[in-house]
A and B are shown apart, each in its own frame.
Chain A
Amino acid sequence: MSMDWKSYKPLLLPNIKNLHQIDVYEKNGGYDSLKDVLKNKDGKWAKDNVTNEVKSAGLRGRGGAGFNTGLKWSFMPKPDGGPRYIAANGDESEPGTFKDRQIFEYNPHLFIEGAVIAAYAMTVNAVYVYIRGEYRSWIQKLQNAVDETYKKGYLGKNILGSGVDIDLYLHSGAGAYICGEESSLMESLEGKRGYPRLKPPFPAQKGLWGRPTTINNIETLSNVPFIIKNGADWYSNLGAAKHPGPVLYGISGHVNKPGVYEFPTGMPIMTLINEVAGGVRNGKKVKAVVPGGSSTPVLRADQLEGLTMDAESLREAGSMMGTAGLCVLDEDTDMIDFLWRITHFYHHESCGQCTPCREGTGWLEKLLLKIKNGEGEYRDLDILLDLCTQMEGRTICALADAAAWPVRYTISRFRDEFEARCKKTIYATA
């Protein structure tokens, strides 16, 4: 990619001191998009036009699935006078992901502005922001920003004299990975155990409290104000053609300068590791990278050359963009140990509703622990792959798939290492 990333000026997290304060945010053009939309001069920002602008900008969800955001909004049925909701997803529980908290801390009003515009476009009167319970400090920060917003009249009744009423409430999770899954999130908001729902009905038909609901990630909604401000054409030319826009890359693991960095989509992975994040610690070599959170298939070092961070390139390379949370592993990493810990995570987080997942995640962990402890046999690897096949696509939600993919791809891409740890047991036949 020819983009000059060194001169890139962040849009989601610009370098402006005290931007979390509403006065500073306003001074830097904040809430201008919302004002413009609500003014709706000559019908320019009629509700459908807002949705269409976001749709043609090509903004894709930043929570993992990468679905076109405007298209998702367009699935909301026509208003019938009853309540309709947005659930903003700040559960951020996929291991390797720590991006949305930076928005809460450094630019909360960008998110709030985006959420209010989205609510206007979809005729929604209440936005519920679901944030993982561990983020207590950040929930407080966002709450402070929300309180400021109400005082300024960008939230509440008759916003800026437009006749539009929108409320925004924060809801704290309490420690459950599964509540980042949209239907589980809704169950949790309704005050229940976070058991994912069967689809259909989809949330746009029957979501929160049985009413039309759209679920969007925090970073996704934060893109909306500058799509409105600069237009869909401008946005769709940022980064990768089929997956445009700025992205918060969360880089962790064995690098010298881990952290969250904002660049357009389509950044070369090796540039992110070697130049942006300061290279691998202690001068070691890269062994592997998990590109988008723990569920995305691991990539070997030899698969990384020339590879860029966008949905299409990563799919071709045999992985996924996920949440753009990259975990970099150095040459000394024990892949068996690493994979075992991932299976432990998914076993712990399976909600227990579907048998293939509840039992399968347990068996994945058990077999990997056996291999890790030097008791594994060759055939255990094939049993593991068979287990994956029995889990993938056979459950209500995608947690079983998320648990199976790391196993399938870590074994297939590091088979030698797994075999070397296993005993060559020969079974006598009768």
Chain B
Amino acid sequence: MDIAFDKSDFEEIEKIKAKYPTNMSAVMPVLWFAQEKFGHVDEEVQKIVAEVLDLPEAHVYGVVSFYTQFYNKKMGKYVLDVCTCFSCQVTGGYDILEYIEDKLGIKAGETTEDGLFSIQSVECLGACGYAPILQVSNDVYVNHLTKEKVDQLIDSLREDKMPEFESIPLPQHQKEEN
């Protein structure tokens, strides 16, 4: 893909800029927008983001390198962010991570040769009550992981099907509705 913004992108970026009193403030939302479009925000993407916001490239690089969700290189089509932190650690997060590593034949931080999957071991995702969990490509959470659930997830991703958002009912609501 050519690394460039088109006319409708520029319109979208103008809308983002209008939310803030300074151009610099738009850098994170514009990086998110660019990552959505290009799949990553490597140096080439950083360059056009810097251009459109009239910021030094070094500043954009500084932002990208600070935040873990910005990909400064091409990643697999699906990035599996497995939480191993705190509540996930004590409920088997590392077992899930190892199982996925074995299943895909790569380690955390690597991408499969076919470019389909990357695995990352990540810090707390804020879903501690539904541990162990993972997040697919900065998007949907998969909760209460088991090996079977991982198998199903990977099968459906191979068929290009993203899991759907799972709304977890609050336990107090379940009880009172009886």
Contact = CB atoms under 8 A, between A and B. Distances in A.
Q: Do A and B bind each other?
A: yes
Nearest to A105: B167
Contact of A98 (B32, B66, B69, B128): B128
B124 A137 contact: no
A294 B165 CA distance: 27
A92 B126 contact: yes
B70 A174 contact: yes
How big is chain B's contact interface, by range? 35 or more
B69 A175 contact: yes
A135 B86 contact: no
A253 B86 CA distance: 8
Contacts of B24: 190-192
Contacts of A177: 123-124
A258 B129 CA distance: 5
B135 A134 contact: yes
Contact of B173 (A15, A92, A133, A190): A15
A89 to B, nearest CB: 13
A349 B135 CA distance: 19
B129 A251 contact: yes
Interface in B48-101: 59, 62-63, 66-70, 84-87, 89-91
A102 interface: yes
Nearest to B168: A259
Interface residues of A, number: 61
A260 B31 CA distance: 33
A357 to B, nearest CB: 15
B34 interface: no
A176 B129 contact: no
Nearest to A141: B165
A88 B20 CA distance: 15
A188 B28 contact: yes
- Contact residues of A: prevailing secondary structure: mixed
B27 interface: yes
B117 interface: no
B159 interface: no
A345 B89 CA distance: 11
Interface stretch (B3-11, B104-112, B138-146): B138-146
A333 interface: yes
Given A95-B123, A98-B126, A294-B86, A83 B21 contact: yes
B28 to A, nearest CB: 6
A93 B28 contact: no
Interface string A324-342: 0101010001000110011
A191 B27 contact: yes
A96 B131 CA distance: 10
Interface in A99-131: 101-102, 105-106
Contacts of A333: 90
A252 B170 contact: no
B128 A327 contact: yes
Contacts of B70: 174-175
A254 B91 contact: yes
Contacts of A169: 19-20
Given A95-B128, A345-B85, A10 B172 contact: yes
B127 interface: yes
A193 B31 CA distance: 13
A252 B129 contact: yes
Contacts of B170: 13, 15, 102, 106, 259-261
Contacts of B89: 337-338, 341
A174 B86 contact: no
A173 B25 contact: no
A261 B171 contact: yes
Interface string B143-167: 0000000000000000000000101
B90 A98 contact: no
Contact of A176 (B21, B68, B127): B68
Contact of A258 (B31, B68, B86, B130): B130
B45 interface: no
A136 interface: yes
Nearest to B93: A341
Nearest to A342: B86
> Max chain A CB contacts within 10 Å: which of B25, B27, B139?
B25
Nearest to B21: A209
> Max chain A CB contacts within 10 Å: which of B19, B123, B135, B171?
B123
A259 B129 contact: yes
A171 interface: yes
Nearest to A248: B170
Contacts of B63: 191-193
B32 A133 contact: yes
A173 B90 CA distance: 27
Contacts of A176: 66-68
Contacts of A342: 86
Contacts of A258: 87, 128-131
Contacts of A157: none
20 contacts: A10-B172, A13-B173, A15-B177, A98-B130, A105-B167, A133-B138, A134-B69, A174-B31, A174-B67, A191-B24, A191-B27, A192-B24, A193-B62, A193-B66, A252-B87, A258-B87, A259-B168, A294-B124, A333-B90, A338-B89
Given A261-B172, A341-B85, 12 more contacts: A97-B124, A133-B69, A134-B138, A169-B20, A174-B68, A190-B24, A191-B27, A253-B91, A254-B90, A259-B170, A327-B90, A342-B86
